[in-house]
Structure 1
Amino acid sequence: MLISLIIPTRERCHYLAETLQSALQIDDKQLEIIVSDNASEDETFKTVQAASDSRLRYLNTGRRVSMRQNFEFSLHNSSGDYVIFIGDDDAILPQQFQFLRRLLDERRPDALSWDRPTYGWPIEGYGNRTGSVKFQRDRVYGSLERVDCIESWRRLLRCDLRDAGPKPAIYHGCIARTFLDRITGPNGECFGSSIPDIYVSYQAVLNNADALHSPHPFSINGYSPVSTGGGHHGYDSKDPRSKPGHQFGEENRQDPTQDVMGYALSVPLAFFSTLETIRSRSPIAIESPDYRAWYHFILSSARASDQETSQKLQVILNEHAEKTGTQAELVEATHTPAAVVAKFRKLTTWLEKLRALRHRKRISAEVEGRNNSLTAAITYDHVLGDDYARILDGTRTAAKCWKAAMRRCRQPRSLAQARRAA
């Protein structure tokens, strides 16, 4: 069974080099590693060319396209029975990949998702937790669970995102080619929305996919100054650090496949716009969402200091409310005190973190003087070891595996594997 690991990239060769090395360390011959270059003008091609591996393929779009188009381009040029996308500042966990394959071989689901730890590249001004990784017992040695897609769809419609549970994913998750073929439109496009990963997740729950979730990581979600999501949604519109997001927006506007609400200015709006796009283009009628809840969620997402974005969001929602006849819901959402809701969310998040403190550990991702997505992957693999095999076999409890992992946290780590891959 061939697995395609796809890394879309655009002028981020410094980050891509480390991400690529994490993939090349995987000991699996039935793996296809694809770097899909969105017409970069930096050293991206040379970075890929320097890595000698028969499993590695380099693609180039030939011209600057949207993220959705790059996803579509790379998917059509891949051959895997299962497809995984990760970002060019992320990392795959090489030693844990064997367990991912085992689950796919044994269960053959439509989709398999997993908990993904976050790693911040250590760059000044990006917080004091960058350059480290966090371990949480129930999110590294939890039991495999089946995703209730029907309930996930109900929660999505009512904007109950905090308790929605895991969803099928193609970004830091994998989807079967057979399922992707099922959701491919008559025009041959699989990704029918501007945010391709959200689109596939929503289609999976809407179509009640046979989906599994593993509370055990197989990849690391990295963030850096070049991250599109962080750059676009993490700063005020006039902040220089929002440049990657503005580039994303310009490319997105050139894409002939547009969402029904246009370009998403915030993550909540992207979630909702994708949902409405799927509903509007579905050949069968899909029940309406809770517009008041969604409108409030979007309006309360903007930073208080970013009046420009707040005003733009209001305009977009006004237009959509007129089209859908939901002006009353928008008025009600607009007059709901955002500060009260924000305080409640902050309190519940704090309580969740407090409950998890007992079984949580954060350590530096630095290895032999280096600190990047590759060393973060090496750190995670070192601490996790091969204990997940015992969880899958039922021969060891999560508590015992956790104790062993905490002992390994104190042991030194090495770049030897990275050198061999290079």
Structure 2
Amino acid sequence: MPKVSIVIPTRERAEYLHYSIQTALAIDDADIEILINDNFSQDHTREVVEAFDDPRLVYKNTGRRVSMRENYNDAIANATGDYLISFGDDDGIIPGQFPFLRKILEDYQPDGVSWIRGTYGWPEDASNKKLGGMRFRRDNLFGDAYRYDPKERNLQALLQCRLNDIYPVTPNLYHGCVSRAYIDRIAPTEGVFLNSLIPDVNFEYRATIEGGDFVHVDHMFTVNGYAKKSTGGAHSGNATDKTQVDPAKRFELENEADPYNDLFNHARFVPLAFLATLETVRERGGYADAKVDYHAWYKFNLQVAAKRKHPFESVKTILQDYAKRTNTTQELDALLQDLPKLKRTPKEIWGRATEIVRSLRLDDVGDGTENTIMTAVNTCDAVLGQSYGQIQSGDLSETQAWRAVKQRAGQQK
């Protein structure tokens, strides 16, 4: 039976971490390790971890303030499992669904497994009624596991910036599971598992270029939490030392000091971070044959920047500088002269409409006393039940399982 490491990198968010740890400790499985890799937190993070009494729980501290990439890289190095799952310190794993994930690992013995993550907003803003609840989507539950090679399936889509054709069937170390053997096999150098700033995107893009034997399943095994202090693009962690006036600025300074900083600045803009990661991975990995469609990537960045009222000029300036370095100014200039507006395709509009119809929402996933990531994953287990195991054994159909979900969800309201 393979050992599974559940890795939670953290920095100064003890109030969320407490509940995130609880979700992993609730798993009834002796062959797991829960690794908390602490980026030199100055709050009560260590005390939160040490308050738990479970031999499966391991605490590591970087001993100094490092970048997010370095902390994540340390976490990978410190993990001892045959497989690694990672998520953030305000996220959680659904404990009652873990046995079904383990069965997939044992049956397929893949390089990794990707799945659909749930979404939960910590109810810290009473005026936002969308927080503290969860939506369950018919098409994201109880799907059959199937193999795929990310290089065959996704590489051309990635190079051509057709990102909607990729997700969610893509290798994930973050809210996904990857074998230690595969991580070591594609490591850029010994001891360096991530060679650009954004850990999850770096791994995904390298795995897509390298390829491998992966499995995807449309089922919910983890829940992505978001809170006021969620990492996000700016990593707006809460500071406790007086030298940190602006947490986002300190995050940038730490990135600049990282020896594996990206090739160019992405101005806290996610589409630009995607391009910066791809270009950094290509250059540092020697993937010259992976030819990027710069016109498509520039178009994507400019359209999103214009639509979302992000400082358009800063994005344009960064792209202009990079276009000069790559001799692609012609592609960029053509777009700047006539930039089409970003519009949703009929497929996207129809997909969103059918998704709402084929789903159900619970507005409150609390237990009557509190509403946290722990109560959220407990609600998931109450709603999902053991249906996926019955599907794996052939005793239940997906249609029957969804019918049972609706019945159980009704009991939660």
Tell me by how many angstroms 1:146 deviates.
2.3
1:48-101 per-position Cα deviation (integer Å, ceiling 9, x unaligned): 010110000111111111111001111111111101110000011000111111
Corresponding residue of 1:416:
none
**1:207 partnered with 2:206:** no
Tell me by how many angstroms 1:365 deviates.
1.0
In structure 2, the CA distance between the partners of 1:368 and 1:34, relative to structure 1 (3 Å rule), is same
Name the CA distance, whole Å, in 2 between partners of 1:145 and 1:201: 18
In structure 2, the CA distance between the partners of 1:231 and 1:66, relative to structure 1 (3 Å rule), is closer
Q: How does 1:33-44 map to 2 (within 5 A)?
A: 33-44=34-45
Query: Percent identity over the alignment?
Result: 39
**1:254 partnered with 2:253:** no
Contact (CA 8 Å) 1:252, 1:263: kept in 2 or not?
A: no
Contact (CA 8 Å) 1:146, 1:211: kept in 2 or not?
A: yes
Tell me by how many angstroms 1:126 deviates.
7.8
Name the CA distance, whole Å, in 2 between partners of 1:336 and 1:389: 53
Contact (CA 8 Å) 2:267, 2:314: kept in 1 or not?
A: no
Contact (CA 8 Å) 2:149, 2:212: kept in 1 or not?
A: no
Q: 2:268 aligns with which of 265, 268, 272?
A: 265
Contact (CA 8 Å) 2:188, 2:285: kept in 1 or not?
A: no
Between 1:94-103 and 1:366-375, the stretch displaced more is 366-375
Tell me by how many angstroms 1:20 deviates.
0.7
Tell me by how many angstroms 1:356 deviates.
2.0
Name the CA distance, whole Å, in 2 between partners of 1:153 and 1:126: 42
Q: How does 1:104-115 map to 2 (within 5 A)?
A: 104-115=105-116
Tell me by how many angstroms 1:128 deviates.
2.8
**1:315 partnered with 2:314:** no
- Residue ranges of structure 2 left out of the alignment (5+ in a row): 237-245
In structure 2, the CA distance between the partners of 1:274 and 1:108, relative to structure 1 (3 Å rule), is same
Between 1:62-71 and 1:138-147, the stretch displaced more is 138-147
Q: 1:171 aligns with which of 170, 174, 179?
A: 174
In the superposition, the TM-score normalised over structure 1's length comes to 0.90
**1:226 partnered with 2:229:** yes
Name the CA distance, whole Å, in 1 between partners of 2:284 and 2:215: 27
Name the CA distance, whole Å, in 2 between partners of 1:264 and 1:177: 33
Q: How does 1:71-220 map to 2 (within 5 A)?
A: 71-124=72-125, 127-149=128-150, 150-165=152-167, 166-220=169-223
Contact (CA 8 Å) 1:22, 1:91: kept in 2 or not?
A: yes
In structure 2, the CA distance between the partners of 1:47 and 1:182, relative to structure 1 (3 Å rule), is same
1:162 counterpart SS class? helix
Q: Give the count of matched residue pairs.
A: 401
In structure 2, the CA distance between the partners of 1:7 and 1:54, relative to structure 1 (3 Å rule), is same
Counterpart residue identity of residue 83, structure 2: Y
RMSD over equivalenced CA pairs, Å? 2.1
Name the CA distance, whole Å, in 2 between partners of 1:125 and 1:257: 40
Name the CA distance, whole Å, in 2 between partners of 1:351 and 1:127: 26
Name the CA distance, whole Å, in 1 between partners of 2:344 and 2:339: 11
Corresponding residue of 1:326:
328
Q: How does 1:359-374 map to 2 (within 5 A)?
A: 359-363=358-362, 364-374=364-374
Name the CA distance, whole Å, in 2 between partners of 1:190 and 1:126: 42
1:243-284 per-position Cα deviation (integer Å, ceiling 9, x unaligned): 654443232122111111235521111111111111112235
Tell me by how many angstroms 1:125 deviates.
7.3
Counterpart residue identity of residue 403, structure 1: R
2:360 counterpart SS class? strand
Contact (CA 8 Å) 1:36, 1:61: kept in 2 or not?
A: yes
In structure 2, the CA distance between the partners of 1:125 and 1:251, relative to structure 1 (3 Å rule), is farther
Tell me by how many angstroms 1:292 deviates.
0.9
- Residue ranges of structure 1 left out of the alignment (5+ in a row): 234-242, 414-422
In structure 2, the CA distance between the partners of 1:56 and 1:126, relative to structure 1 (3 Å rule), is farther
1:20-59 per-position Cα deviation (integer Å, ceiling 9, x unaligned): 1011101110101011111111110110010110000111
Name the CA distance, whole Å, in 2 between partners of 1:376 and 1:230: 24
Name the CA distance, whole Å, in 1 between partners of 2:267 and 2:217: 30
Name the CA distance, whole Å, in 2 between partners of 1:390 and 1:329: 53
Name the CA distance, whole Å, in 1 between partners of 2:11 and 2:287: 37
Tell me by how many angstroms 1:358 deviates.
2.8
Contact (CA 8 Å) 2:121, 2:133: kept in 1 or not?
A: yes
